[in-house]
Structure 1
Amino acid sequence: MSREKILTLDELAVRARQLRSQGKSVVLCHGTFDLMHAGHIRHMQRAKEEGDVLLVTVTADAYVNKGPGRPVFNEQLRAEYIAALACVDYVAINHAVTAVDALNRIQPSIYAKGSDYRSHSDDVTGNIALEQQAVVAHGGQIFYTDEITFSSSSLLNEHFGVFPPETKEYLKAFRQSWSDRDLHRMIASLSGLKVLVVGDAIIDQYHYTAPLGQTGKGNILAVRYESEEQFAGGAIAVANHLAGFASQVTLVCGLGTVDSQEEFIRSKLQKNVEPVFFYMEGAPTVTKRRFVDADLAKLFEVYFFREDPILGKNEQQVCEWLKRHVGEYDVVVTPDFGNGFISATMIDILCDRSKYLAVNTQVNSGNRGFHVIHRYARADFASLNEPEVRLASHNRHDPIESVARDVGDRVRARHFAVTRGTKGVIMLDRDKEMVHTVPALSTKVIDRIGAGDAFLSLAGVCLGGGLPSEVAAFIGSAAAALDVQIVCNREPVSPVSLNKYVTTLLK
C-alpha cells in the first residue's frame, strides 16, 4: 500500500494541482532523510497539522551532497520508508540539488522545514533562501517545526559503522576542539587571499575501454575502445580548486607551441582564475593519455612531452614576471610535476620572494629518480606522498615521521605533510613541535588521480591564511576525500561540497 504513494515528480505536481483545485491546503517537506529517526517523524507529523495533505520530496542519490559514502540508503529505500508513515500522503524522488524546481511545480501553501533551518545564515549552501523565494513567489510560506531534532549524519557516524574505529575516535577528539561552524568561518576567511599558482600545465586524457582478453599471437591484452574524455590537470586543477576559496587566483604555467591545447585549457578555468601563459618552443603541452577499464583501473599510459628543459629563451621572461609579481601574493602554491617548466632559477625566485610558499614535487614516470623536494631551499609548507619523502631521503625503512622530519629540515619547512593513501595524512607542525595524524576520511574511492593536488591546495591555502595546522590537515584531508569521488579532474572541490562534508564529519 505504501508503495502506491510513491509517484514521479511530474505525477506529484499533477496531483498537487488537483488537490489545490479541490480547495485542499498542500504542505511539502523536502530532504535527504538518509536515516529515518524520531525527529523526522515528529517533523512530518507536525507539518501535516498545518494543512490537509502532506507531500514529501526526497533528494535523489546523485544529488546528495554530504560527502563520500552518503547516502547510506538508496533513494528508493528512503522513499519507501517515508511513504510508510501514516501522516504522509504522497512521496516523490527529486532529481536536483535543491527543492526549488519541486516548489515551483508543486506550489505548496506551506513548505515545512526543521527549526535548524530558521537561521538562513547557518545554511552553507544558501539553498534555503532560494527555496523561500520559490515558496513566496506562488503565495505560500515557510513554516518551521519546533520538534525534537536529531542528526542523521551523527547517528550514522556513531552507530552504523560508516567509518572505522580509528576514524571515529579521531573525529570525536577533533570535534571537542572545533565545531563545523568554526571551520565554516575559517574557510570563509580565506576569501580575501590573493593566491598565485606556478606549475606545469597537464592535459589528462582517459580512454575508456572494455578488455577483450589476450591476443591470439602474443602475451598482450587486447581491449575494445568505448569512449574518451579530456581533463585540465596539473597546475590548472590546483588553480581551479583554489578559485572557490580565494577571490583572486593567478595561474602561471607553460604551454607548448605544438598542440598547445590553449583553447581547451582556457575553457576549463574557473572565472576568477587569471592565466599567465608562457610558451615552450617545439614542445607539446604535457599530455598524459591513460587507457582505463570500466572500473577506472589504469591499463597503460602514454606521455606526450619533452624530457629536456624546454623553456629556452622564454625562461628569462618567466623569471622577470616572477620577480615583479611574486611579492604581491599572500600565498604561492607550486605544484611542481617535474615536467620541465619550473627551472632552478625560477625556484630561487619563488623561495626568495614568496610571502608564503606551499610546494609539492611529484614523482612520476617522467621524472622518477631525478625530481625531489630539496630542489627548493625553502618551503613554508611541503606536501609529499610517502614514496616521494622516502626517495628524497634515500631511506626506505625508518619510521615515516622521522624521515619526514629529516626532509623537512632540508627545506626549512614550517609545516610538512605526508599523504599516505588509505593510511591518511601526518602533518608536522615545526613551529609548535606537534604532529597531527588524520586518518583517511573517505569510505569509497572512485579515482585517486588529483587527490594529492586537492590536499596541497586546501591545506596550503589554510596554512597560508594563518589557520591552525590541525585544522589545515583536517580540511585538506576532507578535500582529498571529496576528490577521490571525482573522475580525474572533471570538476574542482567546491566550497559548498567541502562545507557540507565538514558538517557531515563533525555531526
Structure 2
Amino acid sequence: MTWPLQDKEFSVPSVMREKICPLERLAPQADAWRAQGKSVALCHGCFDLVHPGHLRYLEFARQQADVLVVSLTGDDAIEKADGTRPYIPQELRAENLAAIQLVDAVVIVDGDTGLPVIERLRPDVYIKGREYEDSDHPGFRAERERVETHGGRVIFSSGEVVFSSTRLIDDQRPAMAASGYGEADLITASCRRWGIDRVSLGQIIRQRFNDLRVAVVGDMVCDRYAFCDRGLATDEAPILSVRTSDEQTYLGGAAVIAAHVRSLGAACTLLTSSADDHDAHAMTDKLQSLGVEVDTRTTRRLTPTKLRYIVDNQKVFRVEKGGDEPLDSAAQASLIKAATERANDLDVVIFADFGFGVISPTLLHDLMPGLRKHVHTITGDVSGIRRGLLAMRGFDLVTPNEREARGAVGDFESSLPTLAGTMMRTGELANLIVTLGRKGSLLFRPREEKREAWYTNRLRCDYLPTLAPGPAVDPLGAGDALLAVASLALGCGESLAVAGYLGSVAAGVAVSRMGNEPVRPLELLRFLDHRPELQADDDPPIRLPHAI
C-alpha cells in the first residue's frame, strides 16, 4: 500500500499497517476481543501532530482497558479555512498513531465525531480530556449518550502529569525504531513545512541579528562552579567529603542573556540592579568588555550567587547566596524611566525574572504601556514557579518550562494544549514555547491573523524534538540561550517556527559544554552545518517521516 504526499510515495511497514483497521472491520474485531475476555477503551481526535500531551492521554487511556482503539477525524471533516489544516494527511496520521506501542488499533472516521466508531466498537471506556468535562457541545453529548447506552463509561482525564515527559515518549521508541522512523524524520518534515533552510538561517545569524537593538531587563546573577575530586564519607559523620580542585565563575541570570545577545551581534543594554561588591563589579566589567551597556541601580546588599559543586561532571549540590531584594520605589521609577527613554530606539526587550527582585508585577504593569508603543518584540521568561510569568501580559513570546507554566496557572491536570490556551488567553500572549528538557519543546500560536480573534479557536501546536547532538554535558543555561536567540529571531520578523528552531539550536550548543558561556555566531553556524534536515536539494535526499 502507498500513499502520495507532495509528489513522494511512502510504503507502510507491516507492523503499522496491521493496526490500521477499516471501519467496516471494526465490529467483528471488537467481537473477537470480547470473546477473549478483553475490555476495550476508545479515544477520538484529530492527532494532527502527535506531541507529549497526546502521549500522556493515550497512556492513561491504555491503563483503563485491555485494548486501546484510537479513531481519527478524517481530512474532510477538519477545518481548512486557513488552507493548512490538516498538516498531516489522514493516512499518515493513522500511521503515526499505529507506531505507538500503547495503541492496538487505529480507525479513520468520516465526520467530526466518533459516533460511527462508538456504534461498532461499543467501548467499555471512552476517554476524553478534562477540557470536555463541562462541555455542552452537541457532538460530544451524542457521543456520551451512545457510549452509556451501550453500557460503557466516559472518563475525563488528560493522564497523570509527568513533568519530564520522558517516559511517555520513550514508550513509543521501540515501535518507531522497528519501523525505521525517528525524531530526525519529524524534524526534517517540520523544516520543510516551515520553509527552514541552512541559507536563510545563516543569513539571519550572520547579518540580520547585527541590525537589532535590544534591552534586557532582569536580575544579574553570579554562577560559580566548584570542581571537586571524588571523596569518601567522613569519619565524624556519614556525610560526603569532596576536595575542591578548581573554581570557575560565569555570568548568570539576565547578565548571560545580555551576553548572548551581544555575542550574536545585536547592540544590547542590560537594565538591572546590583550590589557594591566584588562579584557585581567583576560581572559588570565582563559585560562591558563584551560590549554590553550596563545600566544598574546599586540597591542590593549582596550579589545573588549560585555555587554548584561538581564531581566527575555531575552536579552534586547547589548553595545559593542572596535572596529576593525588591527594588524600592525610587529604583523602580529609575528603571522605568531608563527603559522608556530608550524605547523609541529598541527593536527587542527581553525580561528575565530570576526571582531576586528586579522584576515585579508592578514594574511590568507600569513599564509595558510605554514600551508597547515603540518596541516591536517583547519577550520574557522566569526561573522557577513565580507569579511574574502571568504578569508578562501582552508579550510577544514567553518560554517557560512545563513545571513553570503549570505552576503559574495552578493547572497540574489538563493537557498541554489546554494549559497553553489558558496561559495565552489569560496573558494575551502572541506566542508561547513550553520547553520539555531533553525532550524538546512545544510551540503554540494562534490560528487567526486578527488579534481580536486569536483565542476563538484552538491554538496551533508544533512539537520540536531536542536538537542537542548527544547527552547534555551541562543543561544550565539552555533556557537562557533559547530565550535570547528566539527573541532575536522574532525581532527580525521571523515566524515562531524559525524562532523556535534557532532557539533550540542555541540550546543545543549551550548544553554541549560545561559552564554558561555566551553563544557565538560561528558555533551556531557550525551546528547548522551538521543538521541533516537542512541539506540542500543537491545533497543526498532525506526521507520524509511517517511518525512523530
Q: Normalised by the shorter chain, which TM-score bucket?
A: 0.5 to 0.7
Pairing of 1:48-127 with structure 2 (within 5 A): none
Q: Answer whether contact 2:365 2:391 (CA < 8 A) is retained.
A: no
Q: Answer whether contact 2:393 2:429 (CA < 8 A) is retained.
A: no
2:415 counterpart of 1:389: no
Give the corresponding residue for 2:524.
498
Give the corresponding residue for 2:508.
481
Q: Answer whether contact 1:286 1:339 (CA < 8 A) is retained.
A: yes
2:236 counterpart of 1:217: yes
Pairing of 1:441-452 with structure 2 (within 5 A): 441-442=467-468, 443-452=470-479
Q: Answer whether contact 1:245 1:495 (CA < 8 A) is retained.
A: yes
2:297 counterpart of 1:278: yes
- Amino acid corresponding to residue 305 of structure 2 in structure 1: T
2:355 counterpart of 1:329: no
Call closer, same or farther: CA 1:219–1:394 in 2, change over 3 Å. Answer: farther
Q: Deviations over 1:180-218 (max 9, x none)?
A: 002212333232111111111010011111231222333
2:499 counterpart of 1:472: yes
More off after superposition, 259-268 vs 413-422: 259-268
Give the corresponding residue for 1:424.
440
Which of structure 1's runs of 4+ aligned residues deviate more than 6 A? none
Give the corresponding residue for 1:201.
220
What is the Cα deviation at residue 378 of structure 1?
Answer: 2.3
TM-score (norm. length: structure 2): 0.58
Q: Which runs of 5+ in 2 are unaligned?
A: 1-176, 449-458, 536-548
TM-score (norm. length: structure 1): 0.63
Give the corresponding residue for 2:152.
none
What is the Cα deviation at residue 337 of structure 1?
Answer: 0.7
Call closer, same or farther: CA 1:259–1:271 in 2, change over 3 Å. Answer: closer
- Give the secondary-structure state (helix, strand or coil) at the position aligned to 2:530: helix
- Amino acid corresponding to residue 466 of structure 2 in structure 1: A
Q: Hey, what's the Cα distance between the residues in 2 that align with 1:173 and 1:232? A: 34
Q: Hey, what's the Cα distance between the residues in 2 that align with 1:173 and 1:342? A: 36
What is the Cα deviation at residue 402 of structure 1?
Answer: 1.6
What is the Cα deviation at residue 349 of structure 1?
Answer: 3.6
Q: Answer whether contact 1:436 1:473 (CA < 8 A) is retained.
A: no
- Give the secondary-structure state (helix, strand or coil) at the position aligned to 2:290: coil
More off after superposition, 167-176 vs 450-459: 167-176
Give the corresponding residue for 1:343.
360
- Amino acid corresponding to residue 262 of structure 1 in structure 2: H
Identity %: 25
- Give the secondary-structure state (helix, strand or coil) at the position aligned to 2:380: strand
Give the corresponding residue for 2:184.
167
What is the Cα deviation at residue 258 of structure 1?
Answer: 4.1
Q: Deviations over 1:15-70 (max 9, x none)?
A: xxxxxxxxxxxxxxxxxxxxxxxxxxxxxxxxxxxxxxxxxxxxxxxxxxxxxxxx
2:429 counterpart of 1:402: no
Give the corresponding residue for 1:21.
none
What is the Cα deviation at residue 320 of structure 1?
Answer: 2.0
Q: Hey, what's the Cα distance between the residues in 2 that align with 1:300 and 1:261? A: 24
Q: Hey, what's the Cα distance between the residues in 2 that align with 1:412 and 1:264? A: 35
Q: Answer whether contact 2:257 2:481 (CA < 8 A) is retained.
A: yes
Call closer, same or farther: CA 1:291–1:344 in 2, change over 3 Å. Answer: same
What is the Cα deviation at residue 464 of structure 1?
Answer: 2.3
Call closer, same or farther: CA 1:280–1:168 in 2, change over 3 Å. Answer: same
2:391 counterpart of 1:378: no
What is the Cα deviation at residue 171 of structure 1?
Answer: 2.2
- Give the secondary-structure state (helix, strand or coil) at the position aligned to 1:390: helix
Q: Hey, what's the Cα distance between the residues in 2 that align with 1:344 and 1:504? A: 42
- Amino acid corresponding to residue 391 of structure 1 in structure 2: G
- Amino acid corresponding to residue 470 of structure 1 in structure 2: A
Q: Hey, what's the Cα distance between the residues in 2 that align with 1:408 and 1:270? A: 38
2:206 counterpart of 1:179: no
Give the corresponding residue for 1:247.
266
Give the corresponding residue for 2:379.
358
- Give the secondary-structure state (helix, strand or coil) at the position aligned to 1:217: coil
Give the corresponding residue for 1:453.
480
Q: Answer whether contact 1:232 1:265 (CA < 8 A) is retained.
A: no
What is the Cα deviation at residue 392 of structure 1?
Answer: 0.9
- Amino acid corresponding to residue 379 of structure 1 in structure 2: F
Q: Hey, what's the Cα distance between the residues in 2 that align with 1:350 and 1:481? A: 33
What is the Cα deviation at residue 411 of structure 1?
Answer: 1.3
Give the corresponding residue for 1:44.
none
What is the Cα deviation at residue 220 of structure 1?
Answer: 1.6
More off after superposition, 460-469 vs 423-432: 423-432
2:435 counterpart of 1:414: no
Q: Hey, what's the Cα distance between the residues in 2 that align with 1:376 and 1:264? A: 27
Q: Which runs of 5+ in 1 are unaligned?
A: 1-159
- Amino acid corresponding to residue 460 of structure 2 in structure 1: M
Q: Deviations over 1:72-110 (max 9, x none)?
A: xxxxxxxxxxxxxxxxxxxxxxxxxxxxxxxxxxxxxxx
- Amino acid corresponding to residue 466 of structure 1 in structure 2: G
Q: Hey, what's the Cα distance between the residues in 1 that align with 2:426 and 2:392? A: 9
Q: Hey, what's the Cα distance between the residues in 2 that align with 1:270 and 1:407? A: 39
Q: Answer whether contact 1:192 1:247 (CA < 8 A) is retained.
A: yes
Q: Hey, what's the Cα distance between the residues in 2 that align with 1:174 and 1:407? A: 27
- Give the secondary-structure state (helix, strand or coil) at the position aligned to 2:230: strand
Report how many residues are paired.
339
Q: Hey, what's the Cα distance between the residues in 2 that align with 1:272 and 1:431? A: 39
Give the corresponding residue for 1:303.
320
Call closer, same or farther: CA 1:327–1:374 in 2, change over 3 Å. Answer: farther
2:310 counterpart (271, 288, 292):
292
2:209 counterpart (177, 185, 190):
190
Q: Hey, what's the Cα distance between the residues in 2 that align with 1:287 and 1:387? A: 23
- Amino acid corresponding to residue 268 of structure 2 in structure 1: V
Call closer, same or farther: CA 1:498–1:270 in 2, change over 3 Å. Answer: farther
Give the corresponding residue for 1:16.
none
Q: Answer whether contact 1:333 1:358 (CA < 8 A) is retained.
A: yes
Give the corresponding residue for 1:157.
none
Call closer, same or farther: CA 1:164–1:174 in 2, change over 3 Å. Answer: same
Q: Answer whether contact 2:222 2:283 (CA < 8 A) is retained.
A: no
1:262 counterpart (254, 257, 281):
281
Pairing of 1:221-236 with structure 2 (within 5 A): 221-236=240-255
Q: Hey, what's the Cα distance between the residues in 2 that align with 1:217 and 1:421? A: 39
Q: Hey, what's the Cα distance between the residues in 2 that align with 1:350 and 1:171? A: 41
